[in-house]
A = this chain, B = another copy of it.
Amino acid sequence: MNARVSRPIRIGLFGAGVVGEGILRLLEDNAGAIERRMGSSIEVRRVVARDTGRPRSSRFDGLLSFRPEDVLDDPEIDVVVEVMGGLEPAGEYVRRAIEAGKSVVTANKALLAERGHELIPLSEARRVDLYFEAAVAGGIPVIRVLREALAADTVVALRGIVNGTSNYILSEMRERGLDFAEALAGAQAAGYAEADPTLDVGGGDATHKLAILATLAFGADVRPEEIATEGITEVGAVDIEMASRFGYVIKPLAVGAARPDGSLDLRVHPALVPEASVLASISGALNVVVLEGKMLGPCLLSGYGAGALPTAMSVVSDIVDVGRNLVFGASGRVPQRAWRGEHLARPPIAPPGQHECRWYLRFSVLDRPGVLARIAGVLGAFDVSIEQMVQEGRGGGSDEPVHVVMLTHEAREENVRHALREIELLKGMVARARALRIEAGA
């Protein structure tokens, strides 16, 4: 058991950007309410910034330092709050803080995804709190729900839309008939996408978040590089339109499931979901996570995934929780779902090729006799059977390619991939085939 702290809780903050400023503002504006809810007041002792030259808000006056030791070596600081981002030096600071017996609140998604398997056991061994609600879908309290509300249940699956930029782009493509490049430019103009959008639209950001969620949901050590990842860059305006004709919406999904054989199925990719489903209704920059509890059934959480205010709010709620634990001498009170004192399990990751689902396939072909029959023949040879088909375009033997879209029955991913490779070699194909999963139970 830890000692109880019966003086103001003292905080050292790494990161003096907009989130850091938002945190100071929330702590100041709500000081009275926070003290009543937490049982003690909060004192920010020091804010460590990296860039000495940058102009900053006057909120930081008298608090700024450029030496990490001013926080890490100050024995009076109880809680280290890290909102500087990036793997290093943030990871080094968090590790040293935990080793010094300080509790940590961080919003650092990359750090948790890449180093969670080291930092979580370290925090449990040192009996300090490591809280990171803001690291995944800042405005959605999914970490708290996973760690606490589902304490008596087993999570069998989770799926979500965890990259707001990708969701915004696909929503704009659908609602305004834009193509990918136009929607991306719009997202950048609206401040939803970075100048270099690779991490968002390429799926890497969602992969980081899924690694963290899967680690807690399945009590497993899941690394980002183990997750099969596909971005939304290949989704065309024509795909969105064709999906809609079949009653589907294309959404950027992250999916994790515990398979009956004990392995984990982990995937990040765009997928078709039914128009009337809840996932289809989560549009724009909103995020959503659906946890599937064995007892509870589905538990859906949605809200804004990013933004300085939601992120700062999540960080401060974590600070209040960590602070309560200090007041009561109860740090380490809630273990991560990685059961207290145990190492994280390393279940096998199911090879993506084994995944079975229905598929949306789009072929660009010359409208010549026999082309469709040859495509269908190859699919059949690989056990991929067609449920519905529609052809789009002028046809009539012209040289304009036409789009042929097929929805398949359930088929194994590796069979689909093999079939598509053979189909590419057929006469009359004018572009690579596109394949998108249809997510059941969405």
A interface with B by C-beta (< 8 Å): 1, 4, 26, 30, 33-34, 36-39, 133, 139-141, 144-145, 148-153, 276-278, 280-283, 286, 288, 293, 295-304, 307, 309-310, 312-314, 316-317, 319-321, 324-325, 328-330, 333-335, 339-342
Contacts and interface: CB of A to CB of B under 8 A. Distances in A.
Contact of A152 (B30, B297, B304): B30
Contacts of A278: 278, 281-282, 302
A309 to B, nearest CB: 5
Number of copies of this kind of chain in the complex: 2
Nearest to A25: B295
B282 A320 contact: no
A304 B300 contact: no
Given A152-B320, A304-B298, A37 B139 contact: no
B296 A303 contact: yes
B152 A26 contact: yes
27 contacts: A26-B152, A34-B152, A36-B341, A37-B334, A37-B335, A38-B151, A39-B333, A139-B299, A144-B144, A144-B148, A148-B317, A150-B317, A151-B320, A152-B317, A278-B278, A293-B313, A295-B309, A295-B312, A296-B310, A297-B307, A297-B310, A298-B302, A299-B303, A302-B302, A324-B333, A325-B330, A329-B329
A199 to B, nearest CB: 23
Main DSSP-derived SS at the A contact region: mixed
B330 A299 contact: no
Contacts of A34: 151-152
A123 to B, nearest CB: 15
Interface core residue of A1, A37, A296, A316 (most chain B CB under 10 Å): A296
B303 A300 contact: yes
A406 to B, nearest CB: 27
A4 B330 CA distance: 10
A147 to B, nearest CB: 9
Contacts of A304: 296-298
Contacts of A316: 151-152
A313 B152 contact: yes
A340 B40 CA distance: 12
Contacts of A1: 4, 328
Contacts of A26: 152, 295
A36 B299 contact: no
Contacts of A329: 328-330
